[in-house]
Structure 1
Amino acid sequence: MREIWVMVGNDLRQRVRDKSVFIFSLLVPLSLMGVLNLTFGGFGLDSVELKPATVVASNEDGGPLGGALLNALDSLEIMDVTVRSAPAAEVQQEAQNSGADLGLVIPAGFTTAVTSDQAVSVQVVEGDRQRIETDVLVSVVDGLLGQLGAGAVAAMAGESAGLILALFAAVAAAAAMVIGSIFDNDAAASGVGVGLGLVLAGLGGSMVPAEFFSETLQTVSHATPHRWAYDAFAVVQRHDGGLADILPQLGILAAMAAALLALGALLLQRSLNRAL
């Protein structure tokens, strides 16, 4: 184990001595962020003076997301919004006759529908005053509903995507151990690693969608970890699949990682014995 830490320390010292690492990892990204901020930072609603607005709302949802939606409206930074409660049957009349800018009815089961990825329907009634504040409020409500729906979908897909990435990273790390143990020269190992990675990525569908491959190439591509990760992501993104739906792909990636790790450990031990 001590020999491994010595190798890691030597590699880190070589990287630190290379000044280009700091240029491309720190200076270039920071400079790009500054340019983008100067280019796009001046656009927005800061230059528009929005007047205070009133929202008449009825929250029939028993869960937390209905209240969160109203709280988000009440705490908008771009304009002063007052949220006034009213019964659902009176929201439309209140919005159109009391000078309010917007009426909102959040139905029962709103939280359940959002968290279970079902269709969400919220009644929106525009007030009798045609003002830019009304348009802004409608846009904000649409955006909040989109964020809530996307957040629920992302939360469900996030666990599956995280496992896919973790197992793929394990395969990549184990493969790097194998390559690094075979070659004594770090430049040769880097070149082989980059070249092999590009070839496997192309065969696995990371450059061209695997659906465009011929039947023979489809079969060959399944020898790469990229293809199994590709298939797993396709199930999650295109078919709203869950963890149970991608267990076969995850199993293959785990088996590849275990096999390469065992081979890499064996080759590394032999390499260290030769060096000693």
Structure 2
Amino acid sequence: MRVLLLGGTGEARALAKALHPRVDIISSLAGRVPDPALPVGPTRIGGFGGVKGLTQWLQDNGIDAVVDATHPFAATMTAHAAQACGEAKLPLLVLARPAWDPGAATVVASDKKAAETVQRQGYSRVFLTTGRSGLNAFQYSDAWFLIRAVTEPDTEALPPSYQLLLSRGPYHYDDELVLLKEHRIDALVTKNSGGDMTRGKLDAAAALDIPVVMVARPPLPTGVTTVGTVEEAVDWIAGLD
């Protein structure tokens, strides 16, 4: 059995490790992050050229099943995988880590809505952890932002007043607590990515009574099979034999 694993997450790397070498698995990374953490086994880097390109690649490479373990906000890739697997008549599994309980956070539907909430609430010093793709929503904000990202964003997308912090998780509670205090943060803006690697900022914000604006996850394509753990994904693949 040949399995395409759409990856780039810790869960994808753990799944590749759990399956290698008994399953012929090919991991695929988008290629947006320089020097990415690579999984065990064969890896391809780069896009497929949309649904048509992915469908053709699946057929040309004799793929028997696809596991989508991309980031919960990689909605375009997930939609393309669902459509391509439907056209190629291949089984598809989405491995999506459980979302965080938003608790008292203000939950919004998009980066744009998050920016509007920051402006409306009058927050002045914001810890912004939504990633590069959503920064342009904040480019006209009056607030000062501490922007954390893995790679440097385009300068045209940045707000007028900010400090850029380039780093890669995991992030721990004690360090996040210090960061929020040092920068006198009065609001945290984040996406509901789930998982433990970046959970510390939420716990630190709660300890300091700092309000959180949380962007909700995009909906998954209708009808896809989903699991929340690597172990469940291993069992699903075993059941295809």
Scaled to the shorter chain, the TM-score interval is under 0.3
TM, length-normalised to structure 2: 0.25
Compare CA radii of gyration and give the structure with the larger one: 1
Higher relative contact order (CA 8 A, sep 6+): 2
TM, length-normalised to structure 1: 0.23
